[in-house]
Structure 1
Amino acid sequence: MKHIYFFALCSLWSLSVLAGNPDRQGEAGAAQLLMNPWAPSAGLHSLGTSYVTGVEAMRLNPAGVSRFAGTQVMLGYANYLQGTDISMQAIGVTSQVGNGGALGFSVMSLDFGDIAVTTTDQPEGTGALLNLSFINVGLTYSHQFENKVSVGITLRGVSEATSDVSSFGFAIDAGVQYVTGEKEEFKFGLSLRNVGSRMAYGGQALATEAPNPDPSADYKLTLEQRSAGFEMPSVLNIGASYDFLSSIEDQRVTLVGNFTANSFSRDQLGAGLEYAFREQFIARVGYRTDLDASTASEGTAADESPLYDGISAGASLRVPFRKGDPTRRFSVDYAYRSTRVYNGTHNVGLSLSF
């Protein structure tokens, strides 16, 4: 049965790749679904489709939720494009249930800093601040079959709103991970994310006044402007990793590779390395690039190079509560991703596993 599940999912995702349309690039909304608030996976540019576990798996590949032994609670914070005053906050929890199953729940929000409200009559500002609320909530179920194949699915609600206009939609993430090798050193993963309903904004802010066609009337008409709908930024990830088990005890080096097919932007290819000493100190570095990216001459508005210029790095310090039991621990994580504009994205995180 596990092989049937595996190949059925592979066939489904292959069809999804063929369904892409490059003419639609740049038309998707809900970009918050492509942001990663978790520091460990951000240090590898979110390339860990094949081996990510626990809370982070709800963002990259829900199949990895059931591969984490026990319960994990994680807090994440990111200073997105330092200098823009945009930040990400997230909290997530996963826990094993039943025989081979696991449940997860996560909440992520965006903070855009202080943005002044301006109008045509008061272009310098009214004195009020814009109240923006961008939140997505996910509920995940994952199941592991005989420690070789795991599958998972996430149902996510997406909300984007101001005080007088809002939009809401639903999205589904699904994934599979396969582990093999004498010491389970080879891992393979697939995930299809952000497949969901179209979203459109509505609310009082879209109302406008228009002249009354009746010349005898002394009042104006209030009309509603219909906003254009937009789709979720669907993404297909295909990843693999291999653990090089060092001849020196308690050391590990993992080579990671990942291909990302974006429905509304250029595809991406990346690779990274992760080094672990006793699974207590972990350092990681990654590189990711957009395929077919072209860069115009310097200083022109037509510059099409990617936002992230390729390099990412991070580290984790894991402190076990009891010697010889790595599943019960406290972790501190940090990641940095270099960007073409502004001063990069910084992630920090805390996690508790028991």
Structure 2
Amino acid sequence: MNKKITYFLTVLLLGTVLFSEVFAGGAKRNGTAGAQELLIPSSPSGLALNGANISSVTGLDAVFYNPAGFGGTQSSTETMFSHLNYIADISMSFAAVGVSFSDLGSLAFSLRTLNFGDIPVTTVDNPYGTGSTFSPSFVTLGLTYANSLTDRIRVGVNLKLVSEKIIRTSATGFALDAGIQYQGLAGLDGLNFGITLKNLGPQMKYDGPDLIRVASESEAKRGDNFYSIDAASFELPSQLELGLSYAYSLGDQYKLGVATAFQNNNFANDEYKFGGEFVYDEMLFLRGGYAYMGEVADNEYQQFFGVTAGIGVKVNIGLEMVVDYAYRAAKFSESNHLIGVKFNF
């Protein structure tokens, strides 16, 4: 078994090196990827740690950060709801339900929506507005499967259907997340390793009746001609992440956990993430995190978000309920506030 695990990890690390070469140079393509809603966090506990917990996250919180962690769920059934105040008047709502089938693995369904509020309709003839409003519809449906290969190795995949619609113009695509967690690295209990590839998929492209235009010529005898604007395709914001975490017990009631992760972005600068968590009696959770972009350390305009912090409370009301809150500082808009609740059956 040890030889198989060693072989597995060797292949994994070689694959990681190859993918990192593919992802290299992401900073040269800043801002060129679409479907940015795929990068908005849905887990308050994960956001409070700034996403550094990809090697230790479990349950439905793992759907966004590392699907392999969902294989470590301790409940037969779990539900999760969260809401984020994002940028300006944009908000995100998330809902998920997961079921564990013991040795057959765990399966989860998730729904993510963005709310943009009402936006005035403008046209070429009415650049200041027609008096009407519209609201874009951005929806992501997810199907997650995870399982434990051994008592130390978990694997998981997350298939997402991405839909974006602006009045009568829309784009639809698919994205895939895949992750692995290894528990007890180097034989040390509490030391975990994780790797995840996120948002892998084909390009998306907008199309629809609103892209049709009328071409008129005063001397033409054939009347008006119609043509459709050919929208440019765009790629998904792919990411490769590697993480380490260590959890240490400080007696019967206290625990301390630290985590770090490296995030290689295909269309943005790389990030180094750090997070810490203090746990009291498995009932109170205090968290904090920070992300550092080394390549833009001297450019304050490229690092939009700052420190993160959060708190969680677990109570038993006939079933286990967990309420989590996360705060993320932002430089050029109001800070983010993400609140969520989970029920474990």
Unaligned segments of structure 2, at least 5 residues: none
Cα offset, 1:131, TM superposition: 2.6
Does residue 1:334 correspond to 2:325, yes or no?
A: yes
Aligned to 1:9: 12
Cα offset, 1:3, TM superposition: 4.4
- Change beyond 3 A, Cα 1:294–1:272: closer
- Change beyond 3 A, Cα 1:69–1:115: same
- In 1, the alpha carbon distance for the partners of 2:275 and 2:297 equals 23
Unaligned segments of structure 1, at least 5 residues: 297-302, 323-327
- In 1, the alpha carbon distance for the partners of 2:287 and 2:246 equals 14
- In 2, the alpha carbon distance for the partners of 1:160 and 1:11 equals 36
Is the Cα contact below 8 Å between 2:51 and 2:273 reproduced in 1? no
Cα offset, 1:208, TM superposition: 0.9
Does residue 1:72 correspond to 2:78, yes or no?
A: yes
Secondary structure, aligned partner of 2:103: coil
Cα offset, 1:196, TM superposition: 0.2
- In 1, the alpha carbon distance for the partners of 2:204 and 2:80 equals 29
Report matched runs for 1:234-313 at 5 Å.
234-246=238-250, 248-295=251-298, 304-309=301-306, 311-313=307-309
| Residue of structure 2 aligned with 1:33, choices 38, 46, 67 | 38
Does residue 1:112 correspond to 2:108, yes or no?
A: no
Aligned to 1:206: 211
- In 2, the alpha carbon distance for the partners of 1:14 and 1:124 equals 51
Is the Cα contact below 8 Å between 1:295 and 1:305 reproduced in 2? no
Q: Deviations over 1:254-300 (max 9, x none)?
A: 0111110000000000111100001110010001121200545xxxx
Secondary structure, aligned partner of 2:183: strand
Cα offset, 1:244, TM superposition: 1.8
Secondary structure, aligned partner of 1:63: helix
Q: Which moved more, 1:181-190 or 1:44-53?
A: 181-190
Amino acid at match of 2:138: F
Q: Percent identity?
A: 32
Q: Deviations over 1:64-97 (max 9, x none)?
A: 011011221000100003xx11000000112211
Does residue 1:196 correspond to 2:201, yes or no?
A: yes
Is the Cα contact below 8 Å between 1:244 and 1:254 reproduced in 2? yes
> What is the TM-score normalised by the length of structure 2?
0.93
- Change beyond 3 A, Cα 1:213–1:170: farther
Amino acid at match of 2:106: A
- Change beyond 3 A, Cα 1:69–1:254: same
RMSD between aligned residues: 1.8
Is the Cα contact below 8 Å between 2:53 and 2:275 reproduced in 1? no
Q: Deviations over 1:218-262 (max 9, x none)?
A: x2111011011010100011111101210x321100011111000
- In 1, the alpha carbon distance for the partners of 2:245 and 2:269 equals 23
Is the Cα contact below 8 Å between 1:100 and 1:144 reproduced in 2? no
Secondary structure, aligned partner of 2:124: coil
- Change beyond 3 A, Cα 1:24–1:191: same
Cα offset, 1:143, TM superposition: 1.0
- In 2, the alpha carbon distance for the partners of 1:237 and 1:316 equals 25
Cα offset, 1:8, TM superposition: 2.9
Cα offset, 1:4, TM superposition: 4.1
Aligned to 1:162: 166
Aligned to 1:146: 150
- In 1, the alpha carbon distance for the partners of 2:104 and 2:150 equals 8
Is the Cα contact below 8 Å between 1:2 and 1:145 reproduced in 2? no
- In 2, the alpha carbon distance for the partners of 1:56 and 1:5 equals 26
Does residue 1:316 correspond to 2:312, yes or no?
A: yes
Secondary structure, aligned partner of 1:41: helix
- In 2, the alpha carbon distance for the partners of 1:288 and 1:74 equals 26
Amino acid at match of 1:344: S
Aligned to 1:343: 334
| Residue of structure 2 aligned with 1:222, choices 213, 223, 226 | 226
Is the Cα contact below 8 Å between 1:6 and 1:176 reproduced in 2? no
| Residue of structure 1 aligned with 2:140, choices 131, 136, 139 | 136
Secondary structure, aligned partner of 1:69: coil
- In 1, the alpha carbon distance for the partners of 2:203 and 2:219 equals 38
Is the Cα contact below 8 Å between 1:100 and 1:145 reproduced in 2? no
Is the Cα contact below 8 Å between 1:39 and 1:335 reproduced in 2? yes
> What is the TM-score normalised by the length of structure 1?
0.91
